[in-house]
Amino acid sequence: MNYFPDEVIEHVFDFIASHRDRNSISLVCKSWHKIERFSRKQVFIGNCYAINPERLIGRFPCLKSLTLKGKPHFADFNLVPYEWGGFVLPWIEALARSRVGLEELRLKRMVVTDESLELLSRSFANFKSLVLVSCEGFTTDGLASIAANCRHLRELDLQENEIDDHRGQWLNCFPDSCTTLTSLNFACLKGETNVAALERLVARSPNLKSLKLNRAVPLEALARLMSCAPQLLDLGVGSYENEPDPESFTKLMAAIKKCTSLRSLSGFLEVAPLCLPAFYPICQNLISLNLSYAAEIQGNHLIKLIQLCKRLQRLWILDSIGDKGLVVVADTCKELQELRVFPSDIHGEEDNNAAVTEVGLVAISAGCPKLHSILYFCKQMTNAALITVARNCPNFIRFRLCILEPHKPDHITSQSLDEGFGAIVQACKGLRRLSVSGLLNDQVFLYIGMYAEQLEMLSIAFAGDTDKGMLYVLNGCKKLRKLEIRDSPFGNAALLADVHKYETMRSLWMSSCEVTLGGCKRLAQNSPRLNVEIINENENNRMERNEEDEREKVDKLYLYRTVVGTRKDAPPYVRIL
Amino acid sequence: MEKVGDYDELVNLKATELRLGLPGTEEETVPCGKSNKRALPDDTEKEIESTGKTETASPPKAQIVGWPPVRSYRKNSIQTKKNESEGQGNYVKVSMDGAPYLRKIDLTVYKKYPELMKSLENMFKFSVGEYSEREGYKGSDFVPTYEDKDGDWMLVGDVPWEMFVSSCKRLRIMKGSEVKGLGCGV
């Protein structure tokens, strides 16, 4: 059926990067499937238990880049016990055994050990890029192996991992011959850093474009580092808590001014506000700014900085910026595409000193026409505001609103927020990700089922009245891939209504809902291609009872489609039905 | 709204509030930890949903597990800094086996382990052995341990200081026969 030789078709396929498109291509005919298989370089696996390494390698023997995700999303919030799973070692072992020419490994929410890192560093001669996001289980010893053994390392990017810092000399382990680094991010390391080794490393890395430091790198070192690397595009500053002496400050300013390529700024893990003006000269070039860890900086200092960032496309900030600050953002950042406002007062201990409200959200929606992604933590919201936001911004792709107090209604009308969220899904026809919060009845889910046609991921907490709510979503959202629900009154009727639906999705999470053991068992019985996992941490309670009570509510349910059946590495308190 | 705030300031009820605890410390909210129960009592939920009451439920005093949905990495960062910057201190109870009463110390006052050890040694009049990663504390009947966020009892000194401060809930200086189990290089 092919009118062109395979090499030509393969060449055409090379232009198609999206893995979804490549998946579609491989379904066209046998010949295309084969050509696509052998030419696939990058593979994305959204759930590491949906498939196993052997089958992966069997199908894509020439792969060079692998992305793996492990634990379910709610693991980020401590809802998944540590040893649940998501171990990367078997993958690395299999890839090594099969002599795959791995060059890039990107992991999210996986358990990575020093042993895995050591094996990784020794098994792939051309290994170039390691990106770990929200992973755990390793120490700086593992990083030392990577540094020492990966001769062509370009990228080492550690984002928000829990790393045991052994205060070793991992930075020293980069050999003098290593000059290929383009990206180095160790912001999440909590221990001391050998600054001298770091400076030498940066000095011999002319291609370094992204550098993100940890807390332990002080102001003076920052100035020297930036002087060595004026070509930086992306900088994460460490800490400088004391007000700098004039000389250090001048040096810092001079170094910063030279970094004319700088487009992205983050870090500020510990910052004295008086240091911020050193960055004013480059603000006009910034397209990305992450100040969400800068807990000490007051709103007015933030505002002064942001007022200069007219080209900003991405802003992550704390709610200490206040509604006033968001109005400034709305006036200044006309190119803004993504905004995340995190809570600075996580436990609701303080009174509303400078938190953000619906006012800030409305201002942003009115002022930033290009806004398509938002994550917004706030203490109060109204339907009127959401309706206005929907009207102002029909282009949302991601809309995540988290009202800190569960079940909180519209603070003016005291009604539920069904209408507000309804307006959002109705207006935003391209919405792919949605998180809802506040007081919500089944009605909001009716709206979501009716209007959210492109919705792929939905997060629900403390919402809904009856099974109907969940059913509206399952029946309505045809493109739904991930559904995660906590503390909502959905039970077996909703869970079991359409078992085949789950095979069209990546996963379903339900915790502290009304589903029972009996319901889960029935679900598992009819679904060979689903793994139905029950996580019950109160293992003791269960064993004391002689009989299993099928009416017992399940603590946490996690189910996902898979082609490789039950996994063998689950801990004792995870029961796979 | 403003009036209420002013009144509070005027009367300053908090300053005259009677409660147990050292002056200057705030009562910590109780974490739910491993509790299997749902965080909000069922009554409150039903009240809101069935009658559509106009007043909002008062915010639960207990922390709900995994709420708000902020990555633990971020939560820990902010929490540690708040303690440091507000001078609120991170007071934890210290018990010593055999001592008649417990003490409380502020972990944020120390910058590293040796300082903490010295302070404990002074407070309870004992001395702790020499620490090594492999064998724990050798050469003394006393071993400092702490309870971490997960409720496990850990040996003091294994993790980096900052991680220790953010995860330590209370300290216990173990003594005597129990000690044999720890720090023996097993």
Give the pLDDT confidence of A273-323 residue by residue, as tens digits: 778 888 999 999 999 999 998 887 888 888 999 999 999 999 999 999 999
For residue B179, the tally of other CB atoms under 10 A from its CB is 20
Domains: count for chain B? 1
Q: Does A350 touch chain B (CB under 8 A)?
A: no
- Residue A12 inside a domain? The answer is yes
Q: Which residue has the tokens 């809930």?
A: B169
- Residue B138 inside a domain? The answer is yes
Task: Give buried/exposed letters for A520-551 (b at 16+ CB in 10 A, else e).
Answer: bebbbeebeebbbbbbbeeeeeeeeeeeeeee
- Residue A370 inside a domain? The answer is no
Q: What is the pLDDT of residue A261?
A: 94
Per-residue pLDDT of chain B (186 residues; tens, 9 = 90+): 444 445 555 555 565 666 565 555 544 444 433 333 443 444 443 433 333 333 444 444 457 888 999 998 888 877 666 555 555 567 888 988 888 888 888 888 888 888 888 888 888 888 888 888 777 888 888 889 998 877 788 899 888 888 888 888 889 988 866 655 544 443
Q: Is the peptide bond before A61 cis (omega within 30 degrees of 0)?
A: no
Residues of B in contact with A517 (CB under 8 A): none
Q: What is the pLDDT of residue B32?
A: 39
Residues of A in contact with B82 (CB under 8 A): 295
Choose between B87 and A107: higher pLDDT. A107
- Residue B120 inside a domain? The answer is yes
- Residue B41 inside a domain? The answer is no
- Residue A519 inside a domain? The answer is yes
For residue B52, the tally of other CB atoms under 10 A from its CB is 13
Confidence of residue A549 (pLDDT cuts 50, 70, 90): confident
What is the maximum span of chain A, computed from C-alpha positions, in angstroms?
74
Domains: count for chain A? 2
What is the maximum span of chain B, computed from C-alpha positions, in angstroms?
66
- Residue B9 inside a domain? The answer is no
Task: Give buried/exposed letters for A69-87 (b at 16+ CB in 10 A, else e).
Answer: bbbbbbbbbbbbbeebbbb
- Residue A390 inside a domain? The answer is no
- Residue B3 inside a domain? The answer is no
Q: Does A271 touch chain B (CB under 8 A)?
A: no
Domain that holds residue B126: 91-180
Kindly report, residue by residue over A174-206, the tens digit of the pLDDT: 999 999 999 999 999 988 889 999 999 999 999
> A318: nearest CA in chain B?
B78
- Residue A529 inside a domain? The answer is yes
Q: What is the pLDDT of residue B41?
A: 41
Name which of A165, A407, A486 is nearest B57 (Cβ-Cβ). Answer: A407
Name which of A342, A416, A538 is nearest B70 (Cβ-Cβ). Answer: A342
Q: Does B14 touch chain A (CB under 8 A)?
A: no
Kindly report, residue by residue over A404-425, the tens digit of the pLDDT: 999 999 999 999 999 999 999 9
- Residue B118 inside a domain? The answer is yes
Q: Do B38 and A487 touch (CB under 8 A)?
A: yes
Domain that holds residue A32: 1-40
- Residue B65 inside a domain? The answer is no
Q: What is the pLDDT of residue A176?
A: 93
Domain holding B146: CATH number? Answer: 3.10.20.90
What's the ipTM? 0.87
Kindly report, residue by residue over A219-233, the tens digit of the pLDDT: 788 989 999 999 999
Is 50 exceeded by the pLDDT of residue A348?
yes
- Residue A92 inside a domain? The answer is no
- Residue B164 inside a domain? The answer is yes
Name which of A79, A415, A538 is nearest B65 (Cβ-Cβ). Answer: A79
Determine the residue among A109, A186, A190 to mutate to test chain B binding: the one whose Cβ has the most chain B Cβ atoms within 10 Å. Answer: A190
Asked whether the beta carbons of A368 and A403 are under 8 A apart, the reply is no
Domain holding A26: CATH number? Answer: 1.20.1280.50
Read off the pTM.
0.79
- Residue A133 inside a domain? The answer is no
- Residue A11 inside a domain? The answer is yes
